[in-house]
Chains A and B, each alone.
Chain A
């Protein structure tokens, strides 16, 4: 039995400690905002925060998350008020939308560590997140917009 703190709530999880956090979130807890894309840490659809760091939950074992603070897209803000969420809506970034939770979770770590990201910083930080619809231009723009908003 492992205790996980997810989005400020504690959950007792009865699962193999090797179970990827992704499947703990999706299949056991029922938080499905974190997506399964590739399963091998290539696409970034499953990015969550572990003690504030972006990790790919498809390869992060339950045992690694134990005792740490997990934040998923559902817990990024209570009222969709994170500057990135607002910017995503403002610029209507999404197409199919499947990758966007992972994109936002990656971008949130970037913005926390770099208040004034250049386009190159964004490209570097977001290199691990694939969007098959090709919304990259708007993602870049939304991160810039959120960075401005964050400074207010």
Chain B
């Protein structure tokens, strides 16, 4: 029988040979390296660390540490590319390894908010350039020549005058002792880039297509038990009592117990969201045995009633009441409608919108709604934990180790340096894995059973747990004067449990009289970041509203937006406008030109356009829709993106294409409803996910070329897809769509 080479013991052994003072990597899933070179590090070699991101071996193997967890945004390739560029090494010879959580050496390590490349751009350029500087200094000392006369190329050092040359590996040990004064290291001129801005393949591509262990669920550890959680079936419910007699008789079962997650008064940070504070845990030998034992578990649930959470924060702890109502979707929509007519929080006001609306020749008012969305990562929530009296090891898929570690430290009463967190590749994240409750759960379970444990959620557990995209609504109003000029704009948005409004975004800054307001309805349904939070609703509502306003004004939807952006650029209204009007206009112009917006031949499609700004980037799409078998089908899409410098162009295109597909799917099918607190969708049989057949035949991606430091890319292309789809649907059907998902079929009865 074959044994996977990923037991904890193997790592300890090889790590111990690395020697003192060096960073020790317990990469639980074997070396994260370029597949072609897998195995070259099989014999422990001396790695010389120049900084947290760069390690060099005497044989000139370059190892670059990726700080941020990978969930498909390709950071394990793009971030090391930035280091390799400045270090001046051959990309093909670079080995990439996912770093453990280590904020001292590797920074914030937060995967989310389309943050990785933009946050690490300067840090990694500096890291690469500094390591190169150290190597140059080391060579200069050894050769007795001035450092400025030394050149580098592809991992080699040269001194032209003396004809001396050497590998980085020859000087790595000496370089490690070089001190670097502040300000002496200069990064490359971007004109000289030869790695960044060229397409490099996913460094884990080969492992993925050959089924190597990469993900949290793949992680193994000697003596590891499997744990699953029975969480309340609905929001607002909790454990009353349970009977484990039958479950305990099932094969492989070790323990069944009730587990509290946070003690009363525990001060939660922003990423400490957990839906259920008490759960019933089943621990056993194998996944299937635990799944079967759960079926025999009898749990009595009860309404939790109103409960209190204690939220930490700069202003000190505050108590928040979580309402106990067992919510249903119809009532949620009704409640949103009621709240929409109540006074709301003022978020921004320019000019005199009240008067402008009063004097308007025409007022267009439309209300948009969108349901809760579940992230539905392909890899269900899971995490490994091994907690002992004096330390803890946690391994698995996680977006925000830096947020979770302090929580674990408080709960386990262990200092942070006794908590080791390793991040595996994630089978999707979309924001869901920024919330570390499942690490806390895994850790508490491991502590309780005094054994290494992997906590696994079933798909149903995952989908019904919460931490959803909130349920949103917004009412937009536009005032036109007698000449059909837009004189005022008003948005009042709300949601359960938070509102979606970004008050300082377009069209703020482009309209003289502007008003933005927000309100929210408390709920026990938990929410979290979902690929471009808030933006993913706004870009649907606002962008289809603007389409309708343009139509009322008799204007082309792109020209209308460009006119507003021209105003915002030349004579912006108000302060704090978040966006750059010229870059915003740039993507609209690019998509207009590339799609042949008004060209003949395009009439066979129902065309929709939308653009949006978020995460410091700009995205615009033109979608071409047809009606196929009675259902809308987006056949092709043109996308224009401005995210500054594109580090890895082909991978960036892939992500935009994926965002387009994801956007179409969620716009047409996504939605989670509730009945008496219970999620009506439990698995993919009744939570429809876009499939191959519904994916466009073509998504052409165009990037605006500029030398601006990179901005976000994982999220920005996603929101405007919703608006473009809604606008194309209008063309296809003659009907405006205000409620998402745009073709949601009734789900009141279960589909079996």
Contact = CB atoms under 8 A, between A and B. Distances in A.
B202 A94 contact: yes
A127 B211 contact: no
Given A16-B251, A27-B288, A80 B695 contact: no
A119 to B, nearest CB: 7
A43 B288 contact: no
Interface stretch (B101-109, B356-364, B616-624, B653-661): B653-661
A137 B74 CA distance: 17
A92 B226 CA distance: 34
B697 A95 contact: no
Given A19-B288, A89-B205, A95-B654, A123 B693 contact: yes
A101 interface: yes
A43 B654 contact: no
A31 to B, nearest CB: 7
B520 interface: no
Given A23-B286, A94-B205, A132-B428, A99 B692 contact: no
Contacts of A28: 286
A27 to B, nearest CB: 4
Interface string B231-251: 000000000000000000001
Contacts of A126: 691-692
A130 B691 contact: yes
A119 B650 CA distance: 22
B208 interface: yes
B210 interface: yes
A129 B684 CA distance: 11
Contact of A30 (B2, B35, B205, B660): B2
Interface in A57-116: 72-74, 76, 80, 85, 88-89, 92-101, 104
Contacts of A93: 654
A73 B211 contact: yes
A26 B662 CA distance: 29
A133 B209 contact: no
Contacts of B205: 88-89, 92, 94
B153 interface: no
A40 B699 CA distance: 31
Given A32-B211, A97-B72, A89 B206 contact: yes
B657 A97 contact: no
Contacts of B662: 132-134
B230 to A, nearest CB: 16
B698 interface: yes
Contacts of B199: 92
Interface string B364-380: 00000000000011111
20 contacts: A16-B251, A29-B1, A30-B3, A35-B378, A43-B689, A80-B35, A92-B201, A94-B208, A96-B378, A97-B208, A100-B209, A101-B211, A129-B691, A132-B376, A132-B428, A133-B428, A133-B658, A134-B659, A134-B662, A140-B695
Interface of B: 1-4, 35, 70-74, 199, 201-202, 204-206, 208-215, 217-218, 220, 226, 251, 286-288, 376-380, 425-430, 458-459, 650-651, 654-655, 657-662, 665, 683-685, 689-693, 695-699
Interface of A: 9, 11, 16, 19-20, 23, 26-40, 42-43, 45, 72-74, 76, 80, 85, 88-89, 92-101, 104, 119, 122-124, 126-127, 129-140
| Among all A-B residue pairs, the 7 with the closest Cβ atoms | A33-B211, A134-B661, A98-B427, A96-B72, A95-B72, A73-B211, A136-B695
